[in-house]
Amino acid sequence: MRRAVVNQRPVSTHATVAHQKQQNFVAAVAVAEDNVRDGKVTSTGTPQYCRRSSSKKESTISSMILRMVRLGSVAVVLLYVWLSSGAIATTISTNSRANSIQQEYDVASKGKVSKTSEGTSYFDEQEPVPPSEVYKEASVDQRQDRSSHSSSLQDERRQQQQQHDMEARYTVQSAQTPSKNLDKEDGQCSLYLAPSTIPGAGLGMFSSVHRAVGEPMGTGEVIVPLVELHFYSGQADLFNPFSDYYWRGREKGLHGIVAEHRSNSLQGYVPGVDAAINCNLALINVDMSGSQFDDGNLSRYHHPMAGSMSPYHSTPSLVRMDIPAGGELFKFYGDQWFVARQDKFGLIPLSDDYPVAQNIINKFDRIQKRHFPSNEKLKEDLWSLVKDDIGMAEWESRIMNALPQSVGDAQKAAQNEIASLHQAKAVRSVDYLRQHGRCVDSIRPGPSTLPSRQGGRGAFAKRNYAKGSIITGTPLIHVPNRELLTMFRMERNNTDPDTGEETWLRHVDEIVNHQMMLNYCYGHHQSTMLLCPYGSGVNYINHNQTLANVRIQWAPNGTTSHNSSWLTDIRVEDLEWVYDTGLAFDYIATKDIKESDELFLDYGDEFEKVIAERLATWRPESQLSFTASDFYPAEAFKRHASTKALRTEMEQKQLPYPDNIEIRCHSALVDRSRRSQQRENADEFEFHWDTREIGFPCRILERKEAEGDIHDEAVQAMGSLYTVELKLPLEEVGLQYKSDTFTYVQKKDVARSAISFFNKPYTTDLFLPNTFRKDIGIPDDMFPSLWKNKLPTQQKVPDKQVDFP
């Protein structure tokens, strides 16, 4: 994937200037056309208005006009017709849109608002950057994480519908296909991590077999919530090495974890395909994965491991474009991801730019076929004029950069679309993948065979492995300071009455919890370093010293980006502010393993001691926020209440819902465009709650039975109808709250499917004060001595005061 870390500089809007240049250009071409028509210039002559004294440089526009005229009268007229038909105008308007995204991002990076690809978000993390040093790269003030949705509301709605369609396709596919066949299997590996075909992008994900549209790919992965890293760590200067790998939590179905207005400080770390895959906006060939909830029935009142394992899991991704054998896989990161890194990547075309570029190509193709189909030299000159003279000198834009370099490629794109040009460059031979890559479809998740008090999901072999063979490999995200995953007690210290900005005091001697991510990372008791894998399936490998059949070892130098010099020459502190990954594990079979055997790893003696003590001494907390009868996980409660009539506010006074449950109503009830979209794709009384839909808080005021013949199927399908009161923010951008001031709106005759249940913020098992947290041990004989920087006794650090917007 890309490892771009850049300094961000503001980009001004050039739409007005560009529009004036277009007017000047079109006017000059019109004069040229008149002169050609009136016989004032020949195909090789130079008109009087293009001459300049030798003491003056020709302007760019004049030189272009001169070149056009020399191409001949027919070329002048045709190019004028082509350009005036909208080719350049569209680049200007789209450039304005990109600049608008950039301006919003520039405002965001100053600390108040962060513009993401899904709308304006608040309380986003900022990461001030220290001076560059050895092994340090320049860094953006605020790194943008991935989002599967583009920036405009229209694009967001289109993407929501695509997500809906994808989830529906997956439901049908999974119902027809046994879970073990979610990926192609013929005894050979079908997914590889190998050097990307994108220059400078590091590793990429490749398919070694042909994949057709609609096929599921991969087996899904755990989704690990990362909760308000910047806030709980209390670090003003936050090096966050996960920022290039995680996705917005909301897009991965992480609902009801934090407060709504802080939802953009919640990320979902999804290893495997979602972490390793790159983004090529011209060749998005894999759909976004969906998400599903499965807590394994680990009740906080009956299971010692409740809250220690993530209940969120991604579904397999679906192929959206035919992928040839050896083809690299690409998903949509969101336009904002590239806008935020413009200084590094330049004017990379955004998602809406390629259709416009395709339209320009198609117009050019029709004109050349009609007027000069056999004049190859003229075609080349005209295309060069547009790409080199106009595109680079006057109207350099993301759309111009989306156009092919040569007229030959333009003609190919006219026949097969632009994506076909990129596809040819995004393929590696299967032999190359086997030689330079690492197989990453070796593991299938499933219910663990361990006793229920230890289990959850486990990792199972997808084929046979002989003792000593490499099962799979994984790159590692390095975390030099494990305090990043520590959640200290934060106390509000002061609030500025004018700005509303809060000052918080971090109590470094009061740890309230650790991020769940700690349980999925590897470490050593003598070091502050943590190593977090993002390979496929490896995070499902459970601990068992007796049954262990897998061990870890460092990957060979150069494999999966492993740099052996990091183990011998680089100190832990040198890796602060290094976003590139340079370390990798291989997982080795320590005995013969058969297909479908569960894989086990020895996490180390220290882990064994801690987990044994946990299992022996754990008792349910007696001072929890909710009693056993009060707390009911929202996902389970949805299933429990799916066929029951909803209680009104009056009825809830007598028989309340669990204290942790919040009632929310679908956003389509108050958003006309979303409501019309719902009704275009589903029954009027059926509302679809996709991964990102969380609606708005609401109260149920009245319930009534649907009117009509009770034997009518349509009436039966309606069930009860409700009058609800929705709590809406006065100012809303996209789906993110901008204000704590609300208004209340009543809606009548609301269908049951428009109402759902969610957990209230900060009530899930993730926030239990006694949850199990322990990193996986790296064997002492393979851990670099240079990294053992943790003293036996740590001096207490004074409490720090940190300002948080």
- Helix ranges (H only) for 149-303 are 153-176, 229-233, 273-276
Q: What is the sign of the dihedral through the CA atoms of 141, 145, 150 and 151? A: negative
The answer to whether 523 touches 529, Cβ cutoff 8 Å, is yes
Burial 703-717 (b: 16+ CB within 10 A, else e): beebeeeeeeeeeee
- Helix ranges (H only) for 524-597 are 565-569
Please report, as a single letter, which amino acid is at residue 739: S
Lowest mean pLDDT among 84-88, 632-636, 724-728: 84-88
Residue 729 pLDDT level (bands cut at 50, 70, 90): confident
Q: Could you report the per-residue pLDDT of 694-722, keeping only the tens digit for each?
A: 899 999 999 998 665 544 555 444 578 99
pLDDT of residue 100: 52
Closest to 482 in 3D by CA, of 583, 587, 575: 575
- Helix ranges (H only) for 708-782 are 713-718
Closest to 595 in 3D by CA, of 446, 374, 473: 446
**How far is it, in rounded angstroms, from Cα 533 to Cα 554?**
12
Burial of 235 (0-12, 13-18, 19+ CB in 10 A): buried
Q: What is the DSSP letter of 510?
A: E
Asked whether residue 784 carries a pLDDT value surpassing 80, the answer given is: yes
Mean pLDDT (the chain, rounded): 75
Q: What is the DSSP letter of 245?
A: T
In angstroms, the Cα distances linking 57 to 63, 157, 444 are 10, 50, 67
**How far is it, in rounded angstroms, from Cα 204 to Cα 461?**
23
Q: What are phi and psi of 82, to 5 degrees?
A: -65, -50
Enter the tokens of residue 192.
Answer: 């590889």
Asked whether residue 320 carries a pLDDT value surpassing 90, the answer given is: yes
The answer to whether 326 touches 195, Cβ cutoff 8 Å, is no
* Mean pLDDT along residues 739-744: 72
pLDDT of residue 80: 54
Tell the residue number behind the tokens 């602060």, with chain if given: 576
What is the distance in angstroms between the CA of the first residue and the CA of the last residue of the chain? Answer: 31
**How far is it, in rounded angstroms, from Cα 81 to Cα 85?**
6
The answer to whether 194 touches 433, Cβ cutoff 8 Å, is yes
Local structure of 180: helix, strand or coil: helix
* Mean pLDDT along residues 157-179: 42
Query: What residues does 759 pair with on adjacent strands?
Result: 661
Closest to 509 in 3D by CA, of 794, 260, 311: 794
Relative to beta strand 216-217, strand 222-227 is: unpaired
The answer to whether 500 touches 561, Cβ cutoff 8 Å, is no
**How far is it, in rounded angstroms, from Cα 689 to Cα 678?**
10
Domain boundaries, the chain: 15-110+352-419, 116-129+146-296+304-330+430-600, 634-759
Enter the tokens of residue 302.
Answer: 């009956």
Range among 15-24, 136-145, 190-199, 416-425 rated most confident: 190-199
Range among 121-125, 392-396, 728-732 rated most confident: 728-732
Higher pLDDT, residue 805 or 47: 805
The answer to whether 579 touches 475, Cβ cutoff 8 Å, is no
**How far is it, in rounded angstroms, from Cα 454 to Cα 544?**
10
Q: What percent of the chain has pLDDT over 90?
A: 37
Q: What is the 3-state secondary structure (H, E, C) of 600-661?
A: EECCCHHHHHHHHHHHHHCCCCCCCCCCCCCCCCHHHHHHHHCCCCCCCHHHHHHCCCCCCE
In degrees, rounded to 5, the angle at the alpha carbon of residue 191 between the alpha carbons of residues 189 and 193 is 115
Q: What is the DSSP letter of 44?
A: S
Q: Please give the sequence-ordered ranges of beta strands (E in DSSP) within 253-356, or none if there are none.
A: 266-269, 291-293, 312-314, 317-318
**How far is it, in rounded angstroms, from Cα 221 to Cα 445?**
8
**How far is it, in rounded angstroms, from Cα 280 to Cα 338?**
11
Tell the residue number behind the tokens 């289109």, with chain if given: 158
- Helix ranges (H only) for 251-329 are 273-276
Q: Could you report the per-residue pLDDT of 603-624, keeping only the tens digit for each?
A: 999 999 999 999 888 887 654 4
Enter the tokens of residue 280.
Answer: 């090529």
Query: What residues does 542 pair with on adjacent strands?
Result: 600
Q: What is the DSSP letter of 323?
A: B
Phi/psi region, residue 253 (left: phi>0; alpha: psi -120 to 50; beta: rest), is left
- Sheet holding 438-439: strands in order across? 203-207, 191-195, 438-439
The answer to whether 64 touches 394, Cβ cutoff 8 Å, is yes
* Mean pLDDT along residues 557-583: 94
CA–chain centroid gap for 695, Å, is 21
Q: Could you report the per-residue pLDDT of 285-315, keeping only the tens digit for each?
A: 999 888 888 887 788 888 889 899 999 998 8
**How far is it, in rounded angstroms, from Cα 790 to Cα 526?**
5
Q: Could you report the per-residue pLDDT of 365-399, keeping only the tens digit for each?
A: 888 888 888 888 888 888 887 776 565 545 567 88
Query: Residue 426 half-sphere exposure, CB side, CA atoms within 13 Å?
Result: 28
- Sheet holding 502-514: strands in order across? 486-495, 502-514, 800-804
Residues 6+ apart with CB under 8 A from 803: 236, 501, 502, 503, 504
Widest CA span in the chain: 99
Closest to 406 in 3D by CA, of 361, 359, 341, 340: 361
Closest to 439 in 3D by CA, of 82, 187, 213, 611: 187
In angstroms, the Cα distances linking 556 to 443, 507, 798 are 21, 42, 43
Asked whether residue 130 carries a pLDDT value surpassing 50, the answer given is: no
- Sheet holding 291-293: strands in order across? 247-248, 266-269, 222-227, 312-314, 291-293
Range among 114-118, 645-649, 702-706 rated most confident: 645-649
Q: Could you report the per-residue pLDDT of 205-225, keeping only the tens digit for each?
A: 999 999 999 999 888 899 999
**How far is it, in rounded angstroms, from Cα 32 to Cα 21?**
16
Range among 114-118, 521-525, 627-631 rated most confident: 521-525
Enter the tokens of residue 663.
Answer: 């009632």
Asked whether residue 585 carries a pLDDT value surpassing 70, the answer given is: yes
**How far is it, in rounded angstroms, from Cα 457 to Cα 528?**
28
Closest to 118 in 3D by CA, of 737, 738, 734: 734
